[in-house]
Amino acid sequence: MIDLKQNEVWFVTGSQHLYGPKTLEQVAEHSREMAAYLGSSAQIPVRVVFKPVLTSAEAIRDLCLEANSTKNCVGLITWMHTFSPAKMWIAGLTQLKKPFLHLHTQYNREIPWAEIDMNFMNLNQAAHGDREFGFIGSRLRLNRKVVVGFWKDEEVQSSIGAWTRAASAWADSQGGKVARFGDNMRDVAVTEGDKVEAQIRLGYDVYGYGVGDLVKVVNRVTDAEIDQLVNQYLDEYDVAAALRPGGERNTSLREGARIELGLRNFLQAGNFNAFTTTFEDLHGLAQLPGLAVQRLMRDGYGFGAEGDWKTSALVRAMKVMAAGLKGGVSFMEDYTYHFSASGDKVLGAHMLEICESIASNKPKLEILPLSIGGKADPVRLIFDANTGPAIGASIMDMGQRFRMVANIVDVVPTDEPLPKLPVARALWLPRPNLKTAAAAWIYAGGAHHTSFSYSVTAEHLQDFADMAGIEFLLIDENTRVDEFKDKLRWNDLYYQLSKGL
Ligand code: MN
Distance 274 CA to ligand 1 centre (A): 16
Distance 293 CA to ligand 1 centre (A): 14
Distance 262 CA to ligand 1 centre (A): 23
Distance 290 CA to ligand 1 centre (A): 13
Distance 350 CA to ligand 1 centre (A): 6
Q: How many whole angstroms separate alpha carbon 47 and alpha carbon 399?
A: 38
Q: How many whole angstroms separate alpha carbon 105 and alpha carbon 103?
A: 6
pLDDT of residue 500 exceeding 90: no
Which residues of 185-308 form beta strands (DSSP E)? Answer: 205-209, 238-239, 274-276, 302-304
Look at the alpha carbons of 349, 353, 358, 359 in this order and tell me if their dihedral is positive or negative.
positive
Distance 331 CA to ligand 1 centre (A): 9
Distance 177 CA to ligand 1 centre (A): 21
Cβ of 223: how many Cβ atoms within 10 Å?
A: 9
Q: How many whole angstroms separate alpha carbon 310 and alpha carbon 290?
A: 20
Distance 95 CA to ligand 1 centre (A): 41
Distance 456 CA to ligand 1 centre (A): 22
Beta carbons of 190 and 223 less than 8 angstroms apart? no
How much is the average pLDDT of 28-54? 97
pLDDT of residue 411 exceeding 90: yes
Rg (CA), the chain: 25
pLDDT in tens, 276-305: 999 988 999 999 999 999 999 999 999 999
Distance 373 CA to ligand 1 centre (A): 13
Distance 449 CA to ligand 1 centre (A): 6
| Helix residue spans in 40-86 (DSSP H) | 57-69
Q: How confident is the model at residue 374 (pLDDT cuts 50, 70, 90)?
A: confident
Smallest CA-to-CA distance from 35 within 23, 25, 47, 21 is with 47
Dihedral-angle region of residue 471 (phi above 0 means left; psi in -120 to 50 means alpha; beta otherwise): beta
pLDDT for res 260: 98
pLDDT in tens, 93-145: 999 999 999 999 999 999 999 999 999 998 999 999 999 999 999 999 999 99
DSSP-derived letter for residue 384 is B
pLDDT for res 370: 85
Distance 355 CA to ligand 1 centre (A): 14
Beta carbons of 336 and 348 less than 8 angstroms apart? no
DSSP string, 78-142: EEESS---THHHHHHHTT--S-EEEEE--SSSS--TTT--HHHHHHS-HHHHHHHHHHHHHHTT-
Task: Supply the pTM of this predicted model.
Answer: 0.97
pLDDT averaged over every residue in the chain: 96
C-alpha torsion angle, residues 428, 192, 323, 471 (rounded to 10): -80
Distance 369 CA to ligand 1 centre (A): 17
Distance 188 CA to ligand 1 centre (A): 10
Distance 37 CA to ligand 1 centre (A): 45
pLDDT of residue 465 exceeding 80: yes
C-alpha torsion angle, residues 110, 116, 120, 121 (rounded to 10): 90
Distance 306 CA to ligand 1 centre (A): 6
Distance 58 CA to ligand 1 centre (A): 52
* Residue 314, φ and ψ in degrees, nearest 5: -70, -40
pLDDT of residue 373 exceeding 80: no
Beta carbons within 8 Å of 307's beta carbon, 6+ residues apart: 180, 182, 183, 184, 185, 188, 191, 276, 277, 278
Q: Are strands 238-239 and 329-338 parallel, antiparallel or unpaired?
A: unpaired
How much is the average pLDDT of 164-182? 98
Distance 324 CA to ligand 1 centre (A): 28
pLDDT of residue 191 exceeding 90: yes
pLDDT in tens, 240-274: 999 999 999 999 999 999 999 999 999 999 999 99
pLDDT for res 142: 96
Q: How confident is the model at residue 501 (pLDDT cuts 50, 70, 90)?
A: low
Distance 219 CA to ligand 1 centre (A): 27
Distance 394 CA to ligand 1 centre (A): 13
Distance 393 CA to ligand 1 centre (A): 14
Q: How many whole angstroms separate alpha carbon 496 and alpha carbon 501?
A: 9
pLDDT in tens, 311-363: 999 999 999 999 999 999 999 999 999 999 989 999 999 999 999 999 999 99
